[in-house]
Amino acid sequence: MSTTTEVMSTTEIANRLVELCGKGEFETAQKELYADDAVSIEPHASPAFEQETKGLAAIIEKGKKWSGMVEEYHGMKVSQPVVGGQSFACTMYMDVTMKGQGRMQMTELCVYNVKDGKIVSEQFFM
């Protein structure tokens, strides 16, 4: 009896990411879908975040830091993914109240690259 593990396709990964992020389950998505050496790229460096974060553990920590900055989530929408080859993109809209900054709405274009059944990079555009 063979015990082969099937590698998820880019479309399957894209759909699963959209499903989990739509429920606000970012860390679950990262642990389940990201490669250990994944890279996260922000539009620009900020006082809160480096422009580039390397490694799954560091990406998870970045997510925890973001969550700690949010006072309240008012809404979130994630578009259906557009898949092309080993990459996919979706938009994420968030309506949040940030600690000490008030309520804001933001939309990001999120682009992901997949290799060997895992997300190896994510890049955000605002």
Handedness of CA 120, 110, 18, 57 (dihedral sign): positive
Residues 57 and 51 sit within 8 Å (Cβ to Cβ): no
**Do residues 65 and 81 touch, judged by C-beta distance below 8 A?**
no
Confidence tier at 2 by pLDDT (50, 70, 90):
very low
Strands 82-84 and 87-98, sheet pairing: antiparallel
Instruction: State pLDDT tens for residues 51-99.
Output: 999 999 999 999 999 999 999 989 999 999 999 999 999 999 999 999 9
Domains of the chain: residue spans and CATH: 10-125 (3.10.450.50)
Q: What is the dihedral of CA 56, 91, 87, 29, to 10 degrees?
A: 30
pLDDT at 5: 62
Contact between 94 and 32 (Cβ < 8 Å)? no
Q: What is the pTM of this model?
A: 0.90
Helix (H) / strand (E) element for 124: namely strand 118-125
107: nearest Cα among 88, 93, 89: 93
| Whether the predicted pLDDT of 103 surpasses 80 | yes
With b for 16 or more beta-carbon neighbours within 10 A and e for fewer, the 56-69 pattern comes to: beebbebbeeeeee
